[in-house]
Amino acid sequence: MGVRDAVGAFALAAVVAWLATPLSARLARRLGVIHVPRERDLHERPTPGLGGLAILAAVIAAGLVFLPLQREYLGVLAGAALIALLGALDDRFDLHPVPKLMGQLAAASVPVAAGVYVDHVTLPFLGALDLGPAGPPLTLLGIVAVVNVVNWTDGVDGLAAGVCLIAAVTFAVLALSLDRDAAGVLAALTAGAAAGFLRHNFHPASVFMGDAGSNLLGLLLACVAIQGVLKTAAVVALLFPLMVLAVPAADATFVIAKRIKYRRPVYAPDRWHFHHRFANIGFSQRRTVMYLYGWSLSLALLALALRFVPYSDEAGHLRPGWAALLAVFGAIAVAASVYVVYVLEILKFRRWRERDIQRRVETGELPALSREAIEREIEREIETGEFEAVRGEPGS
């Protein structure tokens, strides 16, 4: 088992997902699982869901062919089936958050009970940290956290599938390089299933994955991270999943912070996700997705560089040339992150402030101003941080 099996698993899963997705859309129409646009949604027409069932079919098919039929991986497949079916029920009946969370915990407990859990982590400069009996429950919570992080990312055509594709390919390369071949195959078939589905889900999407798909992909990525990275002795093992899943994790962290700040239920839907904020400043769905793909890819490349660039020798001394190359990858990731923040915050402020000034000119609160004068005033406000206080929050 190795690279050849991983490539085969990717190909089989991609083909099955590609062929099965139209069938899942047909099933969704028969069952009435149609996503009608709501106020917070970005799609413009009713779209069938249950695409996650096609992803599940691809995962099961490729898994039974290419994965070792060991207890751990049978547990992963069983947990995947359970959480996808739970998601399908949620897509059909819109379950309350509490039973949905209980179902996620139950599904995640299946692979954990089968041995997919972290009993120690390797920390830079500190070595191995034994988690003891806290390992399984902490792993359970971590899997459910990743499930919901991915679920919240699924709000615009192709975003969740594409980000999961990038993450799964990265995990596959990392796992195979660390001689965790089975985990590498699991990551590869996850990537293949996401790729086959993405063919139908990229804007304009003909089908949505729904919670059946996002929950499934989240659980698979969490299990891949555990089996393929966290269980190894690699010094930067803990950093790999943090970087590979940084974009959906950052989105979830920002949204939770906003909801807490404004005293809203953490589970209540809103328009504060990154994809909503891009839409608020006028980005199309495709442009939004490509920006977030690029950000995810820059962080994935940094994770791969940390694995493959020999920036230090066995004694721990830096090799200047290789360290400089690693610094380049780090700079690219930082630049991408800063640029996204610039787009979301500075550009959002510019457009909101321009509309606010124009509104006040129209109502007579301000004298008539040319477009050039408005732009000069906004530039001054950005440079100095001095502008008139307003009520509410711009672009929220």
Task: Please state the residue numbers annotated as binding site for Mg(2+).
Answer: 151, 211
**Contact criterion met (CB below 8 Å) for 148 and 218:** yes
- The SS3 assignment for 215 reads helix
Among 342, 333, 249, 338, which Cα is nearest to 297's? 333
| Phi, psi (deg, nearest 5) at residue 5 | -65, -35
Q: Alpha carbon of 67 to those of 6, 77, 194: distances in Å?
A: 9, 10, 18
Angle at 74 between CA 70 and CA 78, to 5 degrees: 170
Tokens (6 digits) for 115: 């041995």
What letters, b where the CB count within 10 A reaches 16 and e where it falls short, cover 10-44? bbbbbbbbbebbeebbebbeeeebbbeeeeeebbe
How does strand 127-130 pair with strand 120-123?
A: antiparallel
- The SS3 assignment for 114 reads coil
How does strand 34-35 pair with strand 47-48?
A: antiparallel
Among 57, 75, 58, 65, which Cα is nearest to 1's? 65
Tokens (6 digits) for 98: 């509490």
Query: Beta partners for 34?
Result: 48
Among 258, 139, 122, 111, which Cα is nearest to 178's? 122
Burial of 236 (0-12, 13-18, 19+ CB in 10 A): middle
Tokens (6 digits) for 22: 């139209």
Q: Alpha carbon of 135 to those of 105, 118, 128, 240, 383: distances in Å?
A: 15, 5, 13, 19, 49
